[in-house]
Amino acid sequence: MRLSTHYPVQRIWTVQLHPQADGPALVCSHCPLHTPRLSPASARSAALTHLAQHAQREVIPKHLRTCQCRTRGCCWHPRHRGCSGPIRLALSCGSGGRLWRLADICSACAAASRHTAVVPDTLLNSQRSGSVGAPTRKRRKPACGAGDRLLVQEMLTYLAAALPRFSSASARLLALQCALRADTRGNVRLPHGLLRGMHVHGRAELWSELAYAGWLQCAAPREPHREVHLLDAAMHAHATGRRLRARAAHWAMHPTPLILPQATPSALRLTALALAAHTSGTASSADADLLARLSGQAPEQLEDALDELVRFRLLQAWQHPIGQEEIFWWLPR
Ligand SMILES: [Zn+2]
Ligand SMILES: [Zn+2]
Ligand SMILES: [Zn+2]
């Protein structure tokens, strides 16, 4: 018996967090998952971990992967521009963080869907051949600068879905540094000098914010490092080496060509970073919704931030043409 290769393979996994009196319970629509009652803080992380395990176990050849949004008549997003771009895994969050979905989806549908972020191939990566993404050793060494931008772009995209929507810009910038500097067990040691350089030294509330989100766990503060453990399972499956990630982390603190003083408000620095990660050459563009998501802001706030970057003379101009989904920006000559 032969299986028809034209039959679309379903690649959607969902989990729900059911509130219970003694803590939320995790229910998977694909396996008889019975979780003990979770603490609210660990529920989000447990949901993501479980979805990541499904994707890692249920690997299929690349040519059989199709846009799952399209097979449902593109009901996951308001606009329909037609499918385009490579098929990637994307993580979506609904019902205020109680419903999580991981699915194969094309780049166009992912960009048009709210609360959805493409999961980088470098995360959720199985070591088996034919896996979701290319293993580290097969990944071509990126050109200096471009590789840093790409890694930061991927990680910002992932964090936009993995962190709660109310996360502050400072917490997002801190989470990015942790994600890029973690070892393969999810342990991170951030020198106090680095935290001082980021203007977050002594800001215990940022660590509490990420711990409350169930994204990390803090060890008791010890000189000269701050040690944390990342609970998000995707952070334990980095396919990119630590050296390259550390270089990208360093670039993220000084994202040429959009470098702002560290004392500038974090929301503005995060916007500049998201923009720098999508900048190549003197004229660049990116999807407006995507930029707003990566910056953790509403679209109107994003436009204010872009005006600020013009005032700082980091941008010469920016434009969001009416009826277009792309924002365009130009660097000073
Ligand atoms: Zn399951
Ligand atoms: Zn679609
Ligand atoms: Zn599509």
Residue 248: pLDDT above 90?
Answer: yes
User: Cα(71) to centroid of ligand 2, in Å?
Assistant: 8
Ligand with the closest atom to the CA of 35: 1
Q: Are residues 148 and 249 in the same domain?
A: yes
Q: Are residues 244 and 267 in the same domain?
A: no
Residue 144: pLDDT above 70?
Answer: no
Contact 225, 192 (CB under 8 A): yes
Q: Are residues 186 and 231 in the same domain?
A: yes
Q: Are residues 160 and 193 in the same domain?
A: yes
User: Cα(55) to centroid of ligand 1, in Å?
Assistant: 10
User: Cα(170) to centroid of ligand 1, in Å?
Assistant: 33
Distance CA 12, CA 18 (A): 19
By percentage, how much of the chain surpasses pLDDT 90? Answer: 35
Residue 139: pLDDT above 70?
Answer: no
Can you tell me the mean pLDDT for 233-246? 77
Burial 96-135 (b: 16+ CB within 10 A, else e): ebbebbbbbbbbbbbbbbeebbbbbbbbbbbeeeebbbee
Residue 227 lies in a domain: yes
User: Cα(29) to centroid of ligand 1, in Å?
Assistant: 6
Contact 119, 190 (CB under 8 A): no
Strand order in 216-218's β-sheet?
187-191, 225-230, 216-218
Q: Are residues 29 and 76 in the same domain?
A: yes
Residue 1 lies in a domain: no
Q: Are residues 242 and 266 in the same domain?
A: no
User: Cα(298) to centroid of ligand 3, in Å?
Assistant: 24
Q: Are residues 249 and 316 in the same domain?
A: no
Residue 302 lies in a domain: yes
Q: Are residues 200 and 229 in the same domain?
A: yes
Domain that holds residue 79: 12-119
Domain boundary among 102, 119, 136: 119
Mean pLDDT taken over the chain:
82
pLDDT value, residue 114: 79
Residue 61 lies in a domain: yes
User: Cα(184) to centroid of ligand 1, in Å?
Assistant: 23
Can you tell me the mean pLDDT for 272-297? 90
Find all residues with CB under 8 Å of 163, minimum gap 6, and list them. 171, 172, 175, 210, 213, 215
Contact 100, 91 (CB under 8 A): yes
Neighbours of 280 (CB within 10 A): 9
Domain boundary among 253, 286, 318: 253
Element (H, E) at 51: helix 40-57
In this predicted structure, which of 132-136, 207-211, 254-258, 275-279 has the lowest mean pLDDT?
A: 132-136
Residue 139 lies in a domain: no
Residue 37 lies in a domain: yes
Can you tell me the mean pLDDT for 273-299? 89
In this predicted structure, which of 115-119, 252-256, 257-261 has the lowest mean pLDDT?
A: 115-119
Domain boundary among 232, 253, 274: 253
Q: Are residues 35 and 81 in the same domain?
A: yes
User: Cα(258) to centroid of ligand 1, in Å?
Assistant: 42
The residues placing their C-beta within 5 Å of ligand 2, an ion, are 69, 74, 109
Question: In which band, very low, low, confident or very high, does the pLDDT at 254 lie, cut at 50, 70 and 90?
Answer: very high
Distance CA 301, CA 183 (A): 35
Q: Are residues 231 and 294 in the same domain?
A: no
Ligand with the closest atom to the CA of 75: 2
DSSP secondary structure, 216-227, as one string = EEEPPPBTTEEE
Residue 115 lies in a domain: yes
Question: In which band, very low, low, confident or very high, does the pLDDT at 140 lie, cut at 50, 70 and 90?
Answer: very low
pTM listed for this prediction: 0.73
Ligand with the closest atom to the CA of 13: 1
Q: What is the CATH number of the domain that holds 293?
A: 1.10.10
Can you tell me the mean pLDDT for 255-265? 91
Q: Are residues 160 and 209 in the same domain?
A: yes
How does strand 99-106 pair with strand 12-18? antiparallel
Over residues 56-88, the pLDDT tens digits come to: 788 788 888 999 999 999 999 887 678 988 898
Q: Are residues 267 and 229 in the same domain?
A: no
Count structural domains, the chain: 3
Residue 301 lies in a domain: yes
